[in-house]
Copies of this chain bind each other. A is one copy, B any other.
Amino acid sequence: MKKLTLKDVAKQLGVSTATISNAFNRPDQLSANKRTEILEACKEIGYTGPNRAAQILRKGQSNIVALVLADSLDYMVTDPVANTFIQGVSRVLRENQKHLLLYAGDSDTITDVVDFVDGFICYGAPRNGALSTQLNQQSKPVVTVDFNLENRPAINIDNEKASYEIAKAALRPGDRAAILGLRLIDSPSTCRIYDSPLLDAESSITHRRLDGYCRALKETGIEVATDWIWNLPENAGMYAVQAAREVLQSSPRPDVILCMSDIIALELLQCALTMGIDIPGELRITGFDGIEEAARTRPYMATVCQSSVEKGMEAAKLLLSGDNTSMSLPYEIKLGETI
């Protein structure tokens, strides 16, 4: 039993193909009676509507939105922040009958999908920089999140200010402070940054966070040497544990450790507790993001709560609206029990 085509159906019902097509796509083009009559006949013979592949070609519209993630799906999908973002995106897409295609930021090219997708949401600078260029050269709508692309609308939070504020809340004059950073330099492993050349220092949000920390440190009269700034290549527990061990074994130990994500901060917290270090008495810790797990774990983490769900929703709305206006989203400092 071959799949029915619109033409087959038209022949069977003794009307023209256009009428069938209109019955499905343009109700105003035929009488309500005829329409329901046709639709019912179709249901009976098992025709569920025009072939989507053909529609995509013909209309140039697929109702598919590509979400370009910063890195391989493999990695991104385990990141709770990214997931919460996806959650927001998918909520709005569903309301608008759009579908979600996940696209890896370490792909070679976007040509695999650019021809049929309706638009792109780009979450973080793609690991493969060429994608940014390609995205900007093609004509479909693009919304960027947590980074910027020339002439394309963007959604951000003020990472510098947020980091400044959480650091200010944690720091006391005379503190020894360390920083556990994320993707600050181009290294595949956990390490101190020393004098390594910075990675995307202009555009990356983690460098904005570093700027904020540094401003707070300076204001508090604290200096942090580059061997007390760690770099993690990814926001994953494995790297966090490595960095946590290194920093906790420093002697003298820091009084405060500023972490660029909650995942990092939580691993650090567990390591510290296991070593019998009193939090926050002997060591204060701050995170970043405000993930659910941080709210589930005691003591509650001091962190910057950004609503990734909101971010995702706004990104999707922005894309679908076709507007070209960038926006900055609010955040909230949560003092928690770790500072």
Q: Which residues of A contact B (CB under 8 A)?
A: 3, 48-49, 51-54, 56-57, 60, 62-64, 72-75, 77-78, 83-84, 86-87, 90-91, 94, 97, 99-104, 109, 111-116, 139, 237, 266-267, 270, 273-274, 292-293, 296-298
A179 → chain B closest CB, angstroms: 21
Closest B residue to A104 by CB, please name it. B94
Q: Residues of B contacting A102 with CB < 8 Å?
A: 90, 99-102
Expressed in whole angstroms, the Cα–Cα distance for A73 and B52 within the complex equals 22
Closest B residue to A115 by CB, please name it. B52
Q: Residues of B contacting A104 with CB < 8 Å?
A: 90, 94
Closest B residue to A48 by CB, please name it. B111
Q: Residues of B contacting A74 with CB < 8 Å?
A: 87, 90-91, 94
Q: Are A99 and B99 in contact (CB under 8 A)?
A: no
A191 → chain B closest CB, angstroms: 22
Most buried by B among A53, A78, A114, A292: A53
User: Which listed residue (B49, B77, B111) contacts A87, Cβ 8 A?
Assistant: B77
Expressed in whole angstroms, the Cα–Cα distance for A52 and B99 within the complex equals 18
Q: Residues of B contacting A139 with CB < 8 Å?
A: 3
Instruction: Contacts A53-B57, A56-B56 given; indicate if A87 touches B73 (C-beta within 8 A).
Output: yes
Q: Are A49 and B101 in contact (CB under 8 A)?
A: no
Q: Residues of B contacting A292 with CB < 8 Å?
A: 78, 237
Q: Are A296 and B52 in contact (CB under 8 A)?
A: no
User: Which listed residue (B57, B86, B111) contacts A49, Cβ 8 A?
Assistant: B111
27 cross-chain CB contacts under 8 A: A52-B111, A52-B113, A52-B114, A53-B56, A53-B57, A53-B62, A53-B116, A54-B57, A56-B116, A72-B90, A72-B91, A72-B94, A74-B87, A74-B90, A77-B83, A78-B292, A90-B104, A94-B104, A97-B112, A99-B101, A100-B102, A101-B102, A237-B292, A266-B296, A270-B297, A270-B298, A274-B298
Instruction: Contacts A56-B116, A296-B270 given; indicate if A101 touches B100 (C-beta within 8 A).
Output: yes
